[in-house]
Chain A
Amino acid sequence: QKEVEQNSGPLSVPEGAIASLNCTYSDRGSQSFFWYRQYSGKSPELIMFIYSNGDKEDGRFTAQLNKASQYVSLLIRDSQPSDSATYLCAVMDPGGGADGLTFGKGTHLIIQP
């Protein structure tokens, strides 16, 4: 059974600070990792994807992947109140087939003005 673990929070961060979100996964063969943001009542919106060990930066967002330790993280710099949402970590199964995503339960992030 594939598992993706996230701290459900809520994680409260002051405006302007760095928010750090973490995720671990159980299947060592997993290859592709995604962070989605979901506002209440809305559908998931892709924030970042990462395939290789190390860091990947896109604007205020940085995804970090460590396959040896089986964890993925998302850093949000200069946090804004509009970043308040649930952040879902998702893992795509290995094997190359048209597999779906396995999601973690999500971390509820609150940016305090």
Chain B
Amino acid sequence: DTEVTQTPKHLVMGMTNKKSLKCEQHMGHRAMYWYKQKAKKPPELMFVYSYEKLSINESVPSRFSPECPNSSLLNLHLHALQPEDSALYLCASSRGPGADTQYFGPGTRLTVL
């Protein structure tokens, strides 16, 4: 089973709202990732968690706040977003640091009004 789940599938929020994206995997993977993908662009790395610790933050604005409550869950808290933050947000996981394949969830389509 290589399933990564993400909720919600779609999210529309205003610039003053606070919302959270959730990601879950039960494959025993110890590395989890957030990517952002704009239309007709490739995914861009935002954050990497390794053994529940934040190991990479690709200079992402503070209005995006990641959280890894345990080895199976990854959240992305959103606050005061801008319309240009509208994108597909992808979660991925892999067995561990430097490991091989990253498996992607279905993504959350975010629209900021």
Residues of A within 8 A of B44 (CB): 103
- A13-21, A38-46, A63-71: which one contacts chain B? A38-46
- State which of A43, A92, A99, A104 has its C-beta within 8 Å of the C-beta of B104: A43
User: A96: nearest residue on chain B (CB-CB)?
Assistant: B98
Evaluate contact between B101 and A98: CB separation under 8 angstroms.
Answer: no
Evaluate contact between B98 and A100: CB separation under 8 angstroms.
Answer: no
Q: Bits for B19-59, please: 1 = Cβ < 8 Å to A, else 0.
A: 00000000000010101000001111100111000011010
| Interfacial residues, chain B to chain A (CB-CB below 8 A) | 31, 33, 35, 41-45, 48-50, 55-56, 58, 88, 90, 94, 96-98, 100-107
Query: Is residue A97 within 8 Å, beta carbon to beta carbon, of the partner chain?
Result: yes
The 9 closest A-B pairs by CB, nearest first: A100-B45, A103-B42, A96-B98, A98-B50, A98-B97, A98-B31, A43-B104, A43-B107, A98-B48
Task: Return 25 A-B CB contacts under 8 Å, by A number.
Answer: A36-B104, A42-B106, A43-B90, A44-B43, A44-B104, A45-B104, A46-B104, A49-B100, A96-B97, A96-B98, A97-B55, A97-B97, A98-B31, A98-B55, A98-B56, A98-B96, A98-B97, A98-B98, A99-B56, A100-B35, A100-B48, A100-B56, A101-B45, A103-B44, A105-B41
Residues of B within 8 A of A95 (CB): 98
Number of residue pairs spanning A and B whose beta carbons lie under 8 angstroms apart: 63
Residues of A within 8 A of B56 (CB): 98-100
Evaluate contact between B98 and A99: CB separation under 8 angstroms.
Answer: yes
Evaluate contact between B100 and A101: CB separation under 8 angstroms.
Answer: no
- State which of A46, A98, A106 has its C-beta within 8 Å of the C-beta of B42: A106
| Interfacial residues, chain A to chain B (CB-CB below 8 A) | 32, 34, 36, 42-46, 49, 88, 92, 95-106
- Report the Cα distance A95→B48, complex, angstroms: 15
User: B34: nearest residue on chain A (CB-CB)?
Assistant: A100
What is the CB-to-nearest-CB distance from A58 to chain B, in angstroms, rounded to a whole number? 13
With contacts A42-B106, A46-B101 known, what are 7 further pairs, Cβ within 8 A?
A: A44-B90, A88-B42, A96-B98, A98-B49, A98-B50, A103-B42, A106-B42
Query: Quick one: which of A43, A49, A88 has the most chain B CB within 10 A?
Result: A43
